[in-house]
Structure 1
Amino acid sequence: MRRGAPDTPTGVTTMTELPELPLDFEAFHRMHRPLYVAWAKSYLKHKADAEEAVDWAFEQLLTGWQEVLTKESPAAYAWQVMKHRTIDVARARGRRESLIDTAAFETAALRKAVDPIGQLEENLSLMRAIEALPERQRDVVLLLSLHGQSTREAADHLGITPAAVRSTARYARRRLREILGLAKEGRTDDVAR
C-alpha cells in the first residue's frame, strides 16, 4: 500500500508497515487487488494512479476491517470503496473518470483494424453507451467484457450472485442495443434502468 493518496493524513500506517495483517484481509487483498487495479486503470489510464487509488481503498478497508466483515456483502462494500477512491484520485489529478478517455483508444481491435478511424468511432460510440448504463450494469459489462472475468469471478468481486450477474448482463446488452440503435424493431423488452 502506498502513502500520499489525496487527503490521506500524514503519519497513517500503511499495510507494508504493519507487522502482521489479519489472514482474512490478506486473502481478500490477494484475491481482489489485481482486478481492482485493472478496473481503476480503465478509468485513470496510468497504472501508478490506479495502484494508488486501490492501495488507498485497501488502507481504508484495513482500518475498519472488522466492521467490513459485518457487512451483508464485504465484497460489495469493498467494490464501492475502491470505486470511490478511484474517482477521488481522478479528481485530485484534475481528470474526469471516463472510459472514453482511456479504453476506447487501447483496444487490440483498434491496433489491428483495417479502418482504424472507423474502429475508433465504433469504440467511442460503445464506450459512450457503456457510460450511459446504470452503475451496476456498467460494472458487470466492464468486468465481463473489458476485463474478461467469468460470471462467477464478476459475482465474487461485486458481492452478488452469479444469477444476478447474468441477469444484469442481459439487461445491459438490451440497453446497449437500444442506446446504439441496434434494438430489433417490434421488440418491446422492458429494460431495467
Structure 2
Amino acid sequence: MRVPLQLPLDFEAFYLGHQELFHDYAETQLGGRRAAEEAIHKAFLEILASWDQLLQEGNLEQRAWAVVRRIVGRRLEAEGRPPAFVINGPIEQALRAARDKLRVMQSGTGLYEAIAELPPRQFDVVVLRYILEYPTSRIAWFMGLSDRTVDYHCRKAKERLRVQLGLPAKSQEAKEGNGQ
C-alpha cells in the first residue's frame, strides 16, 4: 500500500491562497490553461522543496513570486516567443481596457510590447492590476509590498509607458482637476 505524501499544513494553506493567482498570471503569459498548470505545478514543487528555508528567510510571497516568474519566463524563452498577451486576441481585449486606463488613445501605439519591456516589478503590477484586474490590496499582499509601494510601481510603469510611447505629459491643471 502506498502512503500519500503528507504536505506541511502551512504549505497547503499557502498553496490554497496563491494557486489561483499564480495560475492566472501564468495563463496570461503562456496563453493556455494547460501550459499554466504545468508551469505552476513545477513552481509549487520547487517552492515545496525549499519550503523550510523559505519560511526561515522571510519574504515568502516575494520569493515564491520570483520562482513563478522565473519558471514562466524560462518556458517563454524555451519556446522563443513573447508573452501570450502580446499575441492573443482575448488578452489583447483586456489590454485595450488597460490602455484606456493608461490614457493611451491610439490602437497601434506598441503598448503591448512596451508593457512586456517594463522592469519586473512594474510589469507584475501592471499585469496584476490592469490585465487580471486584482485590487491594489491583493497585489500588495501577494507581492509582500505595501499598498503605497504597489501604487508607486504602477505610477512609475505608467510614466515609463508614456515616455516610451511618446505621449504628452498631463498638464498640472489637468492633474489638479482630476483631484490628483
- Gapped regions of structure 2 (runs ≥ 5): 97-104, 173-180
| Equivalent in the alignment of 1:83 | 69
| Equivalent in the alignment of 2:178 | none
1:68 Cα deviation after fit: 0.9
The 4+ residue runs of structure 1 with deviation greater than 6 A are none
| Equivalent in the alignment of 2:19 | 33
Matches within 5 A, 1:156-175: 156-175=141-160
Of Structure 1 and Structure 2, the greater helix share is in: 2
1:64 Cα deviation after fit: 1.2
- CA change 1:62–1:109 in 2 (3 A) is closer
Write out per-residue CA displacement over residues 54-82 of structure 1, whole angstroms, 9 at most, x where no aligned residue: 11000011111000112230000000101
1:36 Cα deviation after fit: 0.8
Task: Please give the root-mean-square deviation of Cα atoms over the aligned residues, in Å.
Answer: 2.6
Structure 2 distance, partners of 1:68, 1:90, is 26
| Preserved CA contact (<8 Å) 1:140 1:154 | yes
Which of 44, 48, 57 does residue 58 from structure 1 map onto?
Answer: 44
Write out per-residue CA displacement over residues 106-157 of structure 1, whole angstroms, 9 at most, x where no aligned residue: 42687xxxxxxxx9x8277221121121111011011011011111110122
Equivalent residue letter for 1:30: L
Query: Structure 1 length normalisation: TM-score?
Result: 0.73
Matches within 5 A, 1:114-153: 122=107, 125-153=110-138
- Gapped regions of structure 1 (runs ≥ 5): 1-16, 111-118, 188-193
The DSSP-based 3-state class of the residue aligned with 1:69 is helix
1:104 Cα deviation after fit: 6.8
% same residue = 32
Equivalent residue letter for 1:83: R
1:182 Cα deviation after fit: 1.6
Structure 1 distance, partners of 2:35, 2:115, is 22
The DSSP-based 3-state class of the residue aligned with 1:107 is helix
- CA change 1:83–1:59 in 2 (3 A) is same
Paired residues, number: 161
Equivalent residue letter for 2:123: R
| Equivalent in the alignment of 1:96 | 81
| Preserved CA contact (<8 Å) 1:155 1:162 | yes
Which of 61, 69, 80 does residue 55 from structure 2 map onto?
Answer: 69
Query: Structure 2 length normalisation: TM-score?
Result: 0.78
